[in-house]
Amino acid sequence: MEIVWQTPASPPDAKDYIFRNGRRYVRPYYFEFISHVKNRWAGKTIVDVFADEFKGRPREYFVGAVKCGRIQVDEQIVPVTYVVRSSQKVSHFLHRHEPPVLAFDIPVLYEGSDILTVCKPSSVPVHPCGQYRKNTVIGILVAENGINPLFPVHRLDRLVSGLLIFARTANKADQLRQQIQAGLLHKEYVARVDGVFPDGELVIDANVYYNAREGVSTIEQSKGKTAITKFTRISTNGLHSIVLCKPISGRTHQIRVHLQYTGHPIANDMLYLSSCPINRSTQGMGADRAATSALSQSNMSSQITGRDSTSTEDFLIDPKCTHCPNLGPTGYDVLEEGLWLHCLRYSGPDWSYEAPYPDWATLN
């Protein structure tokens, strides 16, 4: 069978998705990854480059991939001893398996000539990144709604749900980003936190330092960046509280680490429930994924749509693939769930968009 190699320009299609056990999977597909030799790679053999830089597969895989031409340099098959030079084009033709996400729909909240807003599901990244390409908000909207092009105006962390604003044109995107940079936008989130949150408005002004290697933010007055968040309790049942969060700045994990600082972390945020967060260097996975591997699926059933299918759709098994016959990548934690953190509203000088409250924001 002739292999059809996809590239980043190949659009997702609705037939690309398989729904099983409350998860949206992407049917594995053949894909050409293209990169160029970085200065630090120059002087290494092609096998050493891949074995050192891409540790998700064993060295033996890369040896075989070079020998059979699935790894090429400047569109040429090379020997395993080939030494690369700076700026050369390197192509890796592989059988791509994307991680699953929760099988939510992505409801369109508002569609205008220059603006589109949706309610982003938790667990789904906004745009292609890392292992995700089709299992993203943009990919799903293209595949299932035919909406394209889309320009993200802001971003939400993968495990966070809620309002997501897209511009339909590059000019509109630039206009809204300028408003963000000028501090003209107001953001509101809702969180379900541990314990009885204090009544009245609580303002946290504490510098946030983000450790990109570990994927964790901490309160660091000396080396952190200025961060301010205003919190107001909406309700409580004695065990948990629903809290309105208004971040004045926009640091990575700002709301999460500021809630931890108050003593009331997000109630299912295993990364910040502990004062000693899981170290991803030793876990060998992203910090959020390492943290949420301990979470249950108890609140998931009421949120997943009826799209789940137990059918056994066939997909191509590739004999050279290290992930086959699994749908998702080897080692991925399929028990992952979303955070109890939801973007409610964004407003600017002359506009405002909002999303509905999530199910978990109602306390019994």
Asked whether 317 and 325 are in contact (CB, 8 A), the reply is yes
- Which among 16, 74, 114, 157 is annotated as catalytic? 157
Give the Cα separation of 199 and 331 in Å (integer): 43
| Three-state SS at 1 | coil
Asked whether 60 and 51 are in contact (CB, 8 A), the reply is no
Taken in order 169, 175, 181, 187, is the CA torsion positive or negative? negative
What Å distances lie between residue 353 and 112, 230, 304, 349, CA to CA? 12, 20, 24, 12
Q: What are phi and psi of 98, to 5 degrees?
A: -95, 150
Q: How far is CA 273 from the centre of its chain?
A: 20
| Length of the chain, in residues | 364
Q: H-helix or E-strand containing 179?
A: helix 170-181
Q: Is 157 a catalytic residue?
A: yes
Asked whether 231 and 202 are in contact (CB, 8 A), the reply is yes
Give the Cα separation of 36 and 30 in Å (integer): 20
Give the Cα separation of 165 and 163 in Å (integer): 7
Q: How far is CA 116 from the centre of its chain?
A: 20
Taking 3-state DSSP, the helix, strand and coil percentages for the chain, each rounded to the nearest 5, stand at 20, 30, 55
| 336 Ramachandran zone, left/alpha/beta (phi>0; psi -120 to 50) | beta
Nearest to 341 by CA among 151, 157, 81, 74: 157
Nearest to 286 by CA among 277, 295, 299: 277
Rg of the chain on CA atoms, in Å: 22
Q: What are phi and psi of 92, to 5 degrees?
A: -120, 110
Point out the residues that are catalytic: 157
